[in-house]
Amino acid sequence: MRPNLQEVFTMRTQRQLLAIATALLLASPSLAFQSPLSEESIREAYFLGQRHDDTLPRLLDKYVQYLALPKTGPYISSISFFTPFVLAVQKSSQHTFNYSAQQAQSEHRAEAEYVVIRVQIDLTETYGAFLTEPTGSRSGSATGIRLRPSTFWKDFQVEVSSEDKILDADFLHGDPNYVCSKYSCTLSGATVTLEFPAESFTSDAVTVLVTPPEGDPVQVDFDLTSFR
């Protein structure tokens, strides 16, 4: 039995609406890296992290840019851009026993996906762990020494932008780093961590600009097309 004209018109309309919806979906912004992660990607990240060998350091190295030592001022030694896939591998590597791929998948699905950007700041001879200051208010007062505060990283401005738009971090925190001997520990730098929702990155390029309180600003451009 042949369909009547009304049925033919209805089927054509449905096909046209489907084509329009597909075109709109393809035209919508997409991420340069994978997010949300597929079940296959979560499992792959799980097994990579469970190797507990040099797989993780080699993977992380692809997502880190190392910078040259400045003549003066603090040393912004590296800036990292970790995607949800890299973070999933890291999380898996932190478990050694009684942690299955099914657990990794369940836990991942229960949380929102984020991108983590880390800025490594190292102290130098010209921007060190100790500060000099007069011991009194009178001219000619003796010079004293005090420790640089462990919160010194708050004096550094970190700006993340994409497509000329500055992105707002959901989380910003700094952790001081120390070099320790048998008898004492000395402040050596800090690691600044910023977290962003993964969907914030709809462009293939991201710029991270770090402006220290002393010395020249440092800018790093990430090409996300090679990231997972």
* pLDDT tens, position by position, 79-107: 999 999 999 999 999 998 889 999 999 99
Residue 11 in any domain: the answer is no
pLDDT (tens digit, 9 = 90+) per residue, 188-223? 999 999 999 999 999 999 999 999 999 999 999 999
Alpha carbons 93 and 56: distance in angstroms, whole number: 8
Residue 16 in any domain: the answer is no
User: Which helix (H) or strand (E) element contains residue 117?
Assistant: strand 114-122
Alpha carbons 115 and 83: distance in angstroms, whole number: 5
Alpha carbons 126 and 150: distance in angstroms, whole number: 17
Instruction: Spell 40-59 as b/e; 16+ CB within 10 A means b.
Output: ebbbbbbebbbeeeeebeeb
Alpha carbons 127 and 137: distance in angstroms, whole number: 24
- pLDDT category at 15 given cuts 50, 70, 90 is low
The packing angle between helices 84-93 and 39-49, to 10°, is: 40
Residue 22 in any domain: the answer is no
Residue 68 in any domain: the answer is yes
* Stated pTM of the model: 0.82
| Region 58-66 average pLDDT | 96
The confidence score (pLDDT) of residue 29 equals 47
**Structural domain total, the chain:** 1
Contacts of 140 (CB under 8 A, 6+ apart): none
Are 59 and 89 in contact by the 8 Å Cβ rule? The answer is yes
Residue 187 has pLDDT above 50, yes or no: yes
**Tokens representing residue 9 in the block:** 């018109």
Q: What angle do CA 126, 214, 116 make, to 5 degrees?
A: 105
Residue 221 in any domain: the answer is yes
Q: 77 burial class (0-12, 13-18, 19+ CB within 10 angstroms)?
A: middle
- pLDDT category at 25 given cuts 50, 70, 90 is very low
Alpha carbons 46 and 100: distance in angstroms, whole number: 8
- Range list of H helices, the chain: 5-27, 39-49, 55-61, 84-93, 101-109
Which range of residues forms the domain containing residue 108? 31-226
Residue 19 in any domain: the answer is no
Residue 3 in any domain: the answer is no
Alpha carbons 214 and 53: distance in angstroms, whole number: 39
Alpha carbons 208 and 219: distance in angstroms, whole number: 6
Q: Percentage of the chain with pLDDT > 90?
A: 75
Residue 227 has pLDDT above 70, yes or no: yes
pLDDT (tens digit, 9 = 90+) per residue, 133-161? 776 566 666 678 899 999 999 999 999 99
Residue 12 in any domain: the answer is no
